[in-house]
Structure formats: C-alpha cells, structure tokens
Amino acid sequence: MKHEGQKLVGIDVGGTKIAVVLGRQGPEQAEAGGPAITVTDRIVFATPEGPGPALSSIVEALAELERRHGLRDAAAFGVSCGGPLDSARGIVLSPPNLPGWDSIPIVDILSRELGLPGSLQNDANACALAEWMYGAARGASNVVFLTFGTGMGAGIILDGRLYEGREGMAGEVGHVRLAEDGPEGYGKRGSFEGFCSGGGIARLAQARARELAARGVPPAIAPTAERIEELTARRLCDAAREGDRFAREVIDTSARYLGRGLAMLIDILNPERIVIGGIFPRASDLFLPIALEEIGREALEISRGGCRIVPAGLGEAIGDVAALSVAAYGLARGGTAV
C-alpha cells in the first residue's frame, strides 16, 4: 500500500451513532502481511435526525479534532455508512437506517470542509477492507467478510482489490434464499439473512417456541408468551452453552445454514479466507463445527481445502478501523479529487 505512515480521518455513520476518528497507518510490516493502524482519537455522538444536523455535528467533531491534533496534514478521509450508496460518486442513497438521507453527496461536502481527498463505502465493504488490511485476513488476496450481526451482508476482496459490482451492490448475500421457507431476513423468508443474523435467529426461535407452546410443551427458556418475545440470539447462545436443548437446536439450525451459505461462497468465489464478524467471534465454538460439517458435504473438496474460516480479528474497534480503512484504500487507489 502507498502513503504508509500517514494520518487518516474516518467517519463511521450509523443509524444510532456516528464516530469521527483520527488514526495513523504505520510502516509496512511484511511479516504480518501489511501495515498496522492505530486509532489516535475519536469523538462519538448519537446520530442526529436528518442529514443536515448530522453533517453539522460531523463538521463540529472534525473541528474539535483539528483543534486537538491538526488535520491539515492528514492524507485522506474515509466514510463508512449503511447502503445503498453510490461509492464512485461519494453519494449516500436513502439507507433505511438513515431516514431523509436522500442523495447526500457526503464526500464532496466533507472534502470541501477538510481540503482532503475522501472515499465512501458501505459498512460491509468497509469492514472487509479493515479485516483484509489490518485484521484476520492480512496477507490474503481473496477474502469474503460476512457481517452476521443485525443483518447478513458481505464485503468481497478479489485478487487484492475490493469487488463492488456494476451498481456497487456486490456482496448482498443475505438476500439469497437458502430454503423454501424459514425465518424472514432481507424481506425474504428462508434467506441467508433469515437463518444467519441476530434478528433471524431470534425469529426462528420465537416461531419454534410458539409451535411448542401451542402443543402444550413450551421450552423451558421461554415458558410464557412474554418470555418468547424476549428471546435473542445472545440469550440463545448463552443457554445453548448451558445445555438447554431447545436453544441448542435453534443454534444448530442456524449453523447448518451458515455452512450451506459458506459452501456456496467457497464454490463460487474460491476464497482463501472467510472472515465472519458480528455474533460469530463470541460464538464460533457453537457455530463453526456444524458449519464445517455442512461445508464438507456441500463444497468442492479442492476449494474448501484452501479456505480458512476465521472470526473477525478487530473486535470492538472494527467500526473505527473500517472507516480509516476506507480512507487508506481510497488513497491507495487514487482517492476522490478535492
């Protein structure tokens, strides 16, 4: 990568909070597969309602970082934001978690403010860049990153470059249907997101618990209608570890479909590494053995043999590092002109 050792600015725009981050990319570390990155400072605030107030708050946070550290010597900035986006033009296009953000040219706005080149990527792509450049996929050239959080999305690195597709919509694996019926995710029943996301796992458990309750044998973890509504992926993972049979069956179902989805990605993309974030790093002991069994049945032997499946390595820092990674990658690829 070019421009190593330089100061970078990252803006992570979420539906509930925004983080404005200052970081520095260190020198190349060949033995580790690439440069390191350090978060120097960050300002976090609740996402204001509407793009105008939110952009004003971002500008205020940037001004504060300028006062603390100086930003004029930074090399670039990056923005990570939920899609849909027009990354090529740096425009946010009506994300469902950001009402009113309709065709907002965020890169142009912030470029004028900072006097720096900037880049924009959706959050899955940004996290893929982060894990590829600085995390669990360092040194690999063909990588798939899966979010496996509130939803299921993917960022794809092919031959050492982010693959975005014609409309920037590559990686929407959560929309793929894995079964004729099943929990709903991404507006489609039986989808990858339906089986393999926090919300999908909760819906799968709630549906099964209601069926058991209707037969007069509610699960011990949710003996009443109120407790059924309180089921979450985290609670189910905890209960599965404690030996709860119902929770274990729900998690096993999700793990099997995770394996089927991974087998599909392995056969189509032949990646050398699949990095899974969200729920997976905290619960890989529950998901991975069953997913690997399914991959062994479903994926081509030569392809699965060359692919490692690993938890995301950046932990709670991934959002900050993702935004900075967008800056570093955009800079290496030529950036967006000021």
pLDDT at residue 301 tops 60: yes
CB within 8 Å of 217: residues ≥ 6 apart: none
7 has which bridge partners? 24
The first and second tokens of residue 200, run together, are 């999908």
Q: How far apart are CA 202 and CA 103, in angstroms?
A: 33
Average pLDDT over residues 76-83: 95
Helices 233-241 and 280-298 cross at an angle (nearest 10°) of 80
Q: How far is CA 274 from CA 66, 146, 199, 263, 297, in A?
A: 37, 8, 22, 11, 18
Q: Which long-range contacts (CB under 8 A, 24 or more apart) does 236-245 make?
A: 236/201, 236/202, 236/205, 237/279, 237/282, 237/283, 237/286, 240/286, 241/285, 241/286, 244/219, 244/220
Q: Which helix or strand (DSSP H or E) is residue 77 part of?
A: strand 76-81
pLDDT, one tens digit per residue, over 150-194 is 899 999 999 999 999 988 899 999 999 999 999 999 889 999 999
Angle at CA 149, nearest 5°, toward 147 and 150?
Answer: 125
8 Å CB contact between 9 and 65 = yes
pLDDT at 34: 62
Confidence of residue 235 (pLDDT cuts 50, 70, 90): very high
User: How many CA atoms lie within 13 Å of 158's alpha carbon, on the beta-carbon side?
Assistant: 12
pLDDT at residue 333 greater than cutoff 90 = no
Smallest CA-to-CA distance from 176 within 196, 158, 156 is with 196
What's the predicted TM-score (pTM) here?
0.92
Given this model, what pLDDT does residue 22 score? Answer: 97
Q: Residue 167: its pLDDT value, please?
A: 86
Q: Phi/psi of residue 50, each to 5°?
A: 90, 150
Q: What are the helix (H) ranges across 215-279?
A: 225-229, 233-241, 245-269
Give pLDDT, residue 26.
78
Q: Which domains does the chain have, with CATH numbers?
A: 7-135+316-332 (3.30.420.40), 143-313 (3.30.420.40)
**Burial status of residue 161 (CB atoms within 10 A of its CB: 0-12, 13-18, 19 or more):** exposed
Give the per-residue pLDDT at 28: 58
> What percent of the chain stands above pLDDT 90?
88
Q: How far is CA 209 from CA 70, 245, 250, in A?
A: 56, 12, 10
Question: How would DSSP label each residue in 37-59?
Answer: EEEEEEEEEE--SSHHHHHHHHH
Query: What tens digit of pLDDT does each residue of 37-69 get?
Result: 999 999 999 999 999 999 999 999 999 999 999
**Distant-in-sequence, close-in-space partners of 116: CB < 8 Å, separation ≥ 6:** 9, 71, 74, 75, 76, 77, 338
DSSP H/E element including 92:
strand 91-93
What is d(CA 165, CA 296) in angstroms, rounded to the nearest whole number?
29
Cα 144 to Cα 193: distance, rounded to the nearest angstrom: 16
Query: For residue 30, is pLDDT > 60?
Result: no
Phi-psi region of 74 (alpha: psi -120 to 50; beta: other; left: phi over 0): beta
Which tokens sit at 108? Answer: 């142009």
User: Which of these, 14, 123, 20, 112, lies nearest to 67 by C-alpha position?
Assistant: 20
Give the pLDDT band (50/70/90) at residue 33. Answer: low
